[in-house]
Amino acid sequence: MVVRRESDQQETENDGEPFQEMDLNVYEDDDDETLHRKLVASKIARKRAEEDHRLLSNRISLLK
């Protein structure tokens, strides 16, 4: 799975760098730091997807 995060001035990771594309597949040669970054990126992507779902559901309800 590849997560593409938009390069937006307002949206930054905790270390202050702009978002970038990250391959979330786990490989045998990944070190602990890489695995941690993939875990954090997947959590952020899941939260963003859940928020998008909530917003779209609300929009559909309002349109009905």
pLDDT (tens digit per residue) in 15-42: 555 567 888 888 888 889 988 988 999 9
Which residues are within 8 A (CB) of 25 and not within 5 positions of it... i.e. 6 or more apart?
Answer: 1
What pLDDT is stored for residue 2 in this prediction? Answer: 58
7 pLDDT exceeds 60? no
In the chain the first and final C-alpha atoms are separated, in Å, by 34
pTM recorded for the entire structure: 0.62
The phi, psi pair for 7, rounded to 5°, reads -85, 100
**Could you state, in order of their start, the residue ranges of all structural domains in the chain?**
2-63
What pLDDT is stored for residue 53 in this prediction? Answer: 97
What pLDDT is stored for residue 25 in this prediction? Answer: 84
Question: What are the DSSP E strand ranges found in the chain?
Answer: 2-3, 22-23
